[in-house]
A and B are shown apart, each in its own frame.
Chain A
Amino acid sequence: MNVTLAVKQYISKMIENSGPGMKVLLMDKETTSIVSVVYTQSEILQKEVYLFERIDSQNRDNMKHLKAICFLRPTKENVENLIQELRRPKYSVYFIYFSNVISKSEIKALAEADEQEVVAEVQEFYGDFIAVNPHLFSLNLSGVARGRSWEPTLLPRTTQGLTSVLLALKKCPMIRYQLSSDMAKRLGESVKQIITKEYELFDFRKTEVPPLLLILDRSDDAITPLLNQWTYQAMVHELLGLNNNRIDLSRVPGISKDLKEVVLSAENDEFYANNLYLNFGEIGTNIKNLMEDFQKKKPKEQQKLESISDMKAFVDNYPQFKKMSGTVSKHVTVVGELSRLVSERQLMEVSELEQELACQNDHSSASQNVRRLLQNPRVSEMDAVRLVMLYALRYERHSSSILPGLMEELNRKGVSEKHCRMVTSMVEYGGKRVRGSDLVNPQDAVAITKQFFKGLKGVENVYTQHAPLLQETLDQLIKGRLKDSHFPYLGPSSLRDRPQDIIVFVIGGATYEEALAIYNLNRTVPGVRIVLGGTTIHNTKSFLEEVTLTAGAGQAERLQRAGGHPNRR
């Protein structure tokens, strides 16, 4: 159930299959991300892979002394490029791996192009997803929805991605989906169809309790991606943007050249691995310790390595030292930038209010606070908009809603028209009308008492009160209490026992806060392994873009429908 390991194993198997000698890895745009997320350059260099090329790159020289490992998605363009490549081979041998199911006719076309017999291997290795963490994968697809239905080209791609996860993990699951979302149902059916069609592939050893695939829709919980985050990974993504585990720091003032883009990978960065899920305060302490540790190891300038044994000791420790210095400067820069942004944008205050909006039920205090913060000139446009969005989602139907007043406030603040419109889009995307679950106002008695007790106990940390809806959903799922009426099974059979291996997929994107929740579930609940996936992994910015795309298309659709069939209304 470790997705990172699954991809790593695929790739090392490919390299292993090709035997010794210098190698080049031929990839397309997407597989490049897939590989680069799980392997660092130096790691893969050690496996004798010295060049990384794009199959569509024209700037490739004839290098007959290299073996080519092609890892490609089975798209039309890739197959076409590969055919061209085989007709005039630039490398001595080709080991071809497709990241998903490829049709017989395409293989035939390739075979006919291989006149020089350079192809040594044609296989399907199902690494068709981006393994962000061992329990978290993404497909890097944005704008998957058009209104309330799939963007037509992205449904097949999502299906491919999701089935490849199943194949890589060797799971042939039962499928449950969120009833309120048509997209979830469509995706479930589509996955089911592939499983039926490729039944030979999905013929795995049966486990006692079959694995479960749960398909959810982002629109059910639009609040989580709007919140500011305070755990390291989530915070970095929220404030700086993690893209395939890389952060672009080029906008940071006074950044050194080496640190313009840094990689944060838990696979090779011990500090990151240990602090991934710790909150900002703890990271501060840890980074201080890291610095102190580093200072201790660092040779003191004054002492200048006087004796030979000094020098020897230094050289002995040098690789660790060098590695450590890289880690230290990287994390110090990142954390420094985070804290700069926090104070510049007054994120503590903003976040506190966000959490209040998300978790508490006090309209008057909430509306007052929102108004007050909107008037604060240091609160950024984006944060202002997100506060209003949260308010709008939370108190959508409240009798004394001050939403129009807040919109005016936004206008006065000089927030652009585009952003103001997003508030409406957001309500349209994740408003009450759409939601299948009770995101904000729990109806059943148990949940109400729970919330009540939570209120009594007070909160440990005001910035991390919020628990994503997903956590509650999974909790119920594990306890076998998730209602079939809301999350029906696809097909006749249903799971009797407590589920063990669960794959959750969120259409419209997951978040790192949810990843953390899953991580904690994995650690605390015995016998359960959960993997979370999403069409992408959102921060507020990307989520707003997604919503704009979705809602924009939805509006156009409606307008069209309205214009086309005026009589229907």
Chain B
Amino acid sequence: MASSYPPPFEGTGEVKEGFLCPLCLKDLQSFYQLQEHYEEEHSGDDRHVRGQLKSLVQKAKKAKDKLLKRDGEDKPETGSYESFYYGGVDPYMWEPQELGATRNHMDFFKKHRAARIDHYVIEVNKLIIRLEKVRTLAQTTADNHKLFSVVAWVSDTDVPFCPDCGNKFNLRNRRHHCRLCGSIMCRKCMEFVPLPLAYKLTSGTREARSVTGSQSQSPPTGGGGNVSGMGSRRGSISSLSSVTSMLEEKDDERIRCCLHCMDTLMKRQQKLEEKDHVPDIVKLYERLRLCMDKVDERAPEYIRMAESLNAGETTYNLDTAGGLRMEVQKYYELIDALSKKILTLGMKEEPQPHQKTLQLQRMVRYTATLFVQEKLLGLMSLPTKDKYEDLKEKRKQEQEKRLTQERLVAQKRRQDSEKNRPAASTNGEAPQAPRAPRMTKAGGWLPSSDTLHTCGELEDPLLQQIDNIQSFLRQAKAAQRHDEVAMLEENLRQLQDEYDQQQTSLAIALSQRLAQEESLQQDELQRLEDRERGEREHRAQSQAPGSQATYTWQGSLNLTDTGSLHGEEEGEEEVTPKAESSPLSMRAFPALTDQDEESPPRLRRLGGDVTPPGGEGQNSSSLNPFEEEDSTPVEDPSNPFFEEIQKEHKEVANGKKEYNPFEQEEGGEEEQGQAEGATGNPFEVKEENNEGNPFKEASGCTPPGASTNPFEGEDEEAMPDVDVIEEDLLLQQIDNIRAYIFDAKLNGRLDEVELLSENLRELQRTLQEQKSKTH
């Protein structure tokens, strides 16, 4: 719902919007003209309601934008650079630019790397194969000669100096051959591959990792010459030195190789190790990020909800929001715990991890803290249950005000239009005024919801669209696509805004119509019945009619939650609905969150489809809480309907179960039950010929020709009662109008003053009449 309601008496432009043709946006002064226009202009293209809907939504949006813009212009521009400088642009506000030029070298890089990698892979594989051979040979045979078969050894005579360190070979500095590539090096430049490592390298990762660290330290095997072993006589046999060297050598558990081969092998080993080793920090970090993502996803949703709730709107449920808050907070705790764990990783181990590792851990923790600080503390708090009620009340009053004002304007219009078309209203105008005050009461929205329903169960394209969107929303939520949910919700809200507006204007017409209908009679019945029940069952109830009314208002506006449903039902009997429902909702979290989230659309949809409890409209209507509030005790025990009501009272109980309190617009559908049956639909009512309802036509279902109002006949009977009942309301309304006049005078809107005083006079006259009647 738009939070930008214009202050009273300034919104004439907006009211006008209510009479725009939804298809061509033509401004048609009054509802009647609109309808006529609609019939004339658009009866043909009604078939593509769907397509038009889109444009409808867009137009609604446009209108809203216009409105917002207009509001914006009203504000004086303060502090903006542009207002002082003309022409140029502050460099800080230069328009966004695309990413600068780039050039990619990866293809070239890959081309050259591929060649290199091929070479490298071949080398490594060759080494591994040889290593495998040498290893098995070393295990099976002591014959050094066999080693030649693996790789050809370089001839001693070809290599006078060590190729790695450049020292000359002589008696003291003897030649050694690499078992893997056959090259020659000196003792200093020699490396050994321990057998376990060789085993591991050749057999993949199967081997234990314990070898990892030890391979560089040559394992000290027993002192003294060890000739047995694998007969490791390094060097070529032809060399003189080999005999002596045998005495020193004890490399039965390892394979001699050169630096280069060793290097390659080590790299390979490292790779093998890393392949399936995931350090703790990564595991923790992944969970941390998951939580952060969740928060990023959820927090905006929550903030939206909280903002809406704090504004007293009823789009969201307080409990759902509370649950979401808990959920988000839980994630924050998790983030905190995980990042702490990351911070202390490896702290107790010896030796301490590398300082860079520690730095990394500190940074992760710092980031998490920043994240929590920024987002968690930015989460606004929700209003408490009580406060929320207050907020809603306040907002409701605002809406009422607006409605009243709209009604006044519409009245004027109607009066104008009636001058032109006196034939249109057969029932006369007299009842109009007495009926009017009802609109300003808490139940003021009722008729508008009535119309919604009367408009022919979802036949109103807007409603259909709302319904569609709701089902999309549900699907999107199920699919966890939050961005779409947000979009749809936004869409839904817009539609609802638009719809509300439409309904408001319809309501105005309806209110005038209703005055002529004997549905008022039914109202009285309800009132009487309620009162009767109230007296019979709970004396206490009558003491606090205000609070109850407030509560039920909430109930019927709230979208969700079995808790509050329950509370609502109880509310009829108990006077402490708040106390009851609030703890319930608190407890419902967080487990219920998902359910809660899903329920609004479902319930709403249900509401949309539900046919109000049949012909027994009267029964259910007696449940209407608003009526209850409205009903100032004008008891008439001798009411002829009294007995009937009593009889039906039991049926009411059933009806109660069925009726769905969770519709925003549909709220109070129970009343419309009969209103519908009766005359609720302004289209139908007005145009007796009944092609009147364009929406009905649109969906291709022709309503029964000339829907005769079943209650029409009773009109005259009901009227006096109604008037009597409204007395208190009249007084209130008179007060209201006086206040408006005062306000209008203050603001120098003389035309309005005039209009209002006329209204006032009318009201007073009616009041006089009533008084004379009752006494």
Contact = CB atoms under 8 A, between A and B. Distances in A.
Do A and B interact with each other, yes or no? Answer: yes
Interface of A: 1-2, 5-6, 9-10, 13, 20, 22, 42, 45-46, 48, 50-51, 53, 59-61, 63-66, 101-102, 104, 107-108, 110-112, 114-117, 119, 121-127, 133-135, 167-170, 201-202, 204, 266, 273, 312, 315-316, 318-319, 322, 519, 521-529
Given A61-B357, A112-B116, A529-B94, 4 more contacts: A13-B102, A50-B364, A124-B105, A524-B87
A26 B328 CA distance: 35
B377 A121 contact: no
Contacts of B108: 104, 107-108, 111, 122
A51 B356 contact: yes
Contacts of B278: 65
Contacts of B359: 51
Interface in B78-95: 81, 85-92, 94
Interface string B95-127: 011111111111011111100110010000000
B179 to A, nearest CB: 23
B113 A22 contact: no
B116 A522 contact: no
A167 B99 CA distance: 10
B377 A312 contact: no
Nearest to A10: B100
Contact of B105 (A102, A127, A167): A102
A166 B378 CA distance: 41
Contacts of A114: 109, 113, 116
B274 interface: yes
Contact of B102 (A111, A126, A266, A315): A126
A-B CB proximity, top 8 nearest = A526-B87, A111-B112, A168-B100, A61-B354, A50-B363, A135-B91, A111-B113, A134-B91
A522 B88 CA distance: 5
B96 A523 contact: no
Contacts of B96: 5
Contact of B377 (A42, A169, A315): A315
A50 to B, nearest CB: 4
A437 to B, nearest CB: 24
B103 A318 contact: no
A522 B89 CA distance: 6
Nearest to B98: A170
Contacts of A529: 89, 91, 94
Interface stretch (B142-150, B281-289, B465-473, B704-712): B281-289
Interface stretch (B35-43, B203-211, B365-373, B401-409): B365-373
Given A63-B357, A65-B279, A319-B373, A169 B97 contact: yes
A46 B370 contact: yes
Contact of B112 (A101, A112, A169, A524): A112
Contacts of B374: 319
A112 B109 CA distance: 9
Contacts of A66: 360
Interface residues of B, number: 57
A116 B103 contact: no
A20 B290 CA distance: 11
Interface in B271-305: 271, 274, 278-279, 281-282, 285, 289
Contacts of B355: 59, 61
A512 B355 CA distance: 40
25 contacts: A1-B91, A2-B94, A9-B97, A10-B102, A22-B282, A22-B285, A22-B360, A46-B370, A61-B355, A110-B109, A111-B112, A111-B116, A115-B267, A117-B113, A119-B109, A122-B104, A124-B105, A126-B102, A133-B91, A201-B101, A202-B101, A316-B377, A521-B88, A523-B88, A527-B87
B347 interface: no
A51 B359 CA distance: 8
| Majority SS at the chain A contact face | mixed
Given A10-B99, A315-B377, A316-B377, A1 B88 contact: no
A6 B357 contact: no
Contacts of B366: 45
B702 interface: no
Contacts of A13: 99, 102
Given A61-B356, A102-B105, A50 B367 contact: yes
Interface in B53-90: 81, 85-90
Nearest to B120: A115
Contact of A201 (B103, B110, B274, B381): B103
A22 B368 CA distance: 13
B569 to A, nearest CB: 34
Nearest to A46: B367
Interface of B: 81, 85-92, 94, 96-106, 108-113, 116-117, 120, 267, 271, 274, 278-279, 281-282, 285, 289, 354-357, 359-360, 363-364, 366-367, 370-371, 373-374, 377-378, 380-381
Contact of B282 (A61, A65, A170, A523): A65
A457 to B, nearest CB: 21
A392 B154 CA distance: 81
Contacts of B100: 6, 9-10, 125-127, 167-170
Contacts of A53: 356
A525 B102 contact: no
A123 B103 contact: yes
B106 A121 contact: yes
Contacts of A107: 105, 108-109, 112
Contacts of A273: 92
A322 B373 CA distance: 10
Nearest to A61: B354
Contacts of B363: 45, 50-51
Contacts of A266: 92
B94 A168 contact: no
Contacts of B381: 312, 316
Contacts of A202: 101
B87 A123 contact: no
B401 to A, nearest CB: 30
Nearest to A203: B101
A64 B278 CA distance: 9
B97 A318 contact: no
B102 A5 contact: no
Given A51-B356, A124-B102, A64 B92 contact: no
Given A134-B92, A134-B94, A524-B88, A122 B99 contact: no
Nearest to A9: B99
Contacts of A1: 91, 94, 97
A543 B201 CA distance: 63
B106 A123 contact: yes
Nearest to A119: B109
Contacts of A319: 373-374, 377-378
B512 to A, nearest CB: 48
Contacts of A10: 99-100, 102
Contacts of A167: 100-101
User: B94, B101, B355: which has the most chain A beta carbons within 10 Å?
Assistant: B101
Interface centre among B102, B108, B111, B267 (most CB of A within 10 A): B102
A523 B81 contact: yes
Contacts of B274: 64
Contact of B356 (A59, A65, A133): A59
Nearest to B278: A65
A502 B355 CA distance: 48
Nearest to B359: A51
A523 B105 contact: no
B738 to A, nearest CB: 38
Nearest to B92: A134
